[in-house]
Chains A and B, each alone.
Chain A
């Protein structure tokens, strides 16, 4: 199973991961133009600060609380890849924000509004999806300090 590993001590806080995340999840593919899109693309990785900058991003938990909290059933952990996402399932996100309430890392956000152009009736929760359409997540590719990397972790069901 894939997971994002964070080696925060080398982080300089350049925020290229945030820009790359926005671009990768925008319609235009550009962070600059994404700001003008409706709804505005938002970053799913966050440069926060303690002593220094720390990227905070979804851990794709073994037993994700966002999944347990989801009243629509759309937030799921893929049994094969381990990726936790509310997109691409039979059940649809209706923007109830239970996942935002449940996520201990505070890395799930509400989308600005329903996206009628995409036929959406509801605002939706947005979070890291590990960039399913790319070989390497955009944030990992963009990081000049190799703070972020994709690692393979054992299937959690084996250690349950």
Chain B
């Protein structure tokens, strides 16, 4: 059996590892555009701030390919898929045949059309290469601007601040982490970053990056310019779906897949940031875009590719854990409630001083979202209740109490085993 995997990040590497376990004899080939062993994209900020070396980012170890007996082709782009003849054409001119193909092509930074984006010293924050570029610039830079207060932008800002660089984050929305947290949770994280010395400017769009030749600052719509020797653009990502699209497979914002992670073409699967999912908590279709989802999808795709059917459904797009400076935070599922009455949604929340904030979003007796800031203990237990769509009506009065725990379900189902998204809706009713 010949398996070909395009991409060596979370989904691609996981699929390779599971395919090897499932089929000790298989010929498994990974083709990746990047160089070196698989590295953790989520950890590049710790390289940028100098706390980790490149080899410490290798989440499958430096000798992953040899250990798992993979053919590992790096620095090569897959240019085209010939689904009818079951092969892919690579940038080095080679044609590689497959029996089963996995597209784990990931995502790329999405950069808006800001004047000056082409200037020297304007860097995105998505890859090891970006992190190295920022680390190199940071040697001499005294000031930096970060455009976008999502995870990537704030990770970059924190790394720059740790290096003693005077850093300003500019965000269009009225809060940081607008897609991941609600305003109250975001305010706590914002204070935490400000205590670290990061300056944050909200409700402000960027008019342009100032030159000439190399970046010297950022012009704002209606505030004084921000001086910056280095400009990080972190305005979001988009799925790398083109390979699938050009081959005529079904795509939307990302590659469309079935509940077996199969694309619309036979023998071709897709996993990770390149695909879109139907979010079980909001009902909306969205790019997958989290490490955890990518790994699970890589695993489930591997099983399906090896002929061991495993259904992947009920995925949740927002599953985030973060700690920039001192305050940890977790968000999960539907954290924003645009219109409470219309959606029949109930919100429970709790605060302890100005450092701890917990919120649960309930719909039809089930938890569909959570925000825990400052105290993240047991957040995974609540996450399991969300994933498994457990009816928590009987516990409504004590859902945020300190002693609400897995104990109430002890002896019951094994939440964590095998089917993280299995619907356990009948469990506690």
- Complex: A97 Cα to B378 Cα, angstroms: 11
List residues 50-67 of chain A with CB under 8 A from any CB of chain B.
50, 54, 56, 59, 61-66
The reply to whether A73 and B59 form a contact with Cβ atoms under 8 Å apart is: yes
Taking CB atoms, residues of chain A closer than 8 Å to B291 are 69, 71, 98
Whether A65 touches B379, Cβ cut-off 8 Å, given contacts A91-B58, A102-B292, A121-B51, is: no
B interface residues, tally (CB under 8 Å): 51
- Complex: A106 Cα to B287 Cα, angstroms: 27
Q: Is there a chain A Cβ closer than 8 Å to B381's Cβ?
A: yes
Closest residue of chain B to A70 (Cβ to Cβ) is: B59
Whether A68 touches B406, Cβ cut-off 8 Å, given contacts A63-B417, A73-B40, A91-B61, is: no
Smallest beta-carbon distance A64→chain B, Å = 7
Smallest beta-carbon distance A158→chain B, Å = 12
Closest residue of chain A to B60 (Cβ to Cβ) is: A73
Smallest beta-carbon distance A62→chain B, Å = 5
What is the predominant secondary structure among interface residues of chain B facing chain A? mixed
Contact of B410 (CB < 8 Å), options: A56, A92, A101, A108: A56
C-beta contact mask, B359-385 vs A, less than 8 Å → 1, else 0? Answer: 000000000000000001111111110
Q: Is there a chain B Cβ closer than 8 Å to A104's Cβ?
A: yes
List residues 19-51 of chain A with CB under 8 A from any CB of chain B.
46, 48-50
Q: Is there a chain B Cβ closer than 8 Å to A94's Cβ?
A: yes
Instruction: Give the number of A-B contacts (CB < 8 Å).
Output: 144
Closest residue of chain B to A56 (Cβ to Cβ) is: B406
Q: Is there a chain B Cβ closer than 8 Å to A90's Cβ?
A: yes
C-beta contact mask, B337-377 vs A, less than 8 Å → 1, else 0? Answer: 00000000000000000000000000000000000000011
A interface residues, tally (CB under 8 Å): 45
Whether A101 touches B418, Cβ cut-off 8 Å, given contacts A56-B405, A56-B410, A110-B328, is: no
A residues with CB within 8 A of B? 6, 8, 46, 48-50, 54, 56, 59, 61-66, 68-73, 90-92, 94-110, 121-123, 157
A-B contacts besides A96-B322, A100-B377, 16 pairs, CB < 8 Å: A49-B403, A56-B410, A68-B299, A69-B292, A71-B59, A73-B58, A73-B59, A101-B320, A101-B330, A102-B319, A104-B381, A104-B406, A104-B415, A104-B420, A105-B380, A107-B406
B residues with CB within 8 A of A? 10, 14, 21, 40, 42-43, 46, 51-52, 56, 58-62, 291-292, 295-296, 299, 319-323, 328, 330, 332, 376-384, 387, 403, 405-408, 410-411, 414-418, 420
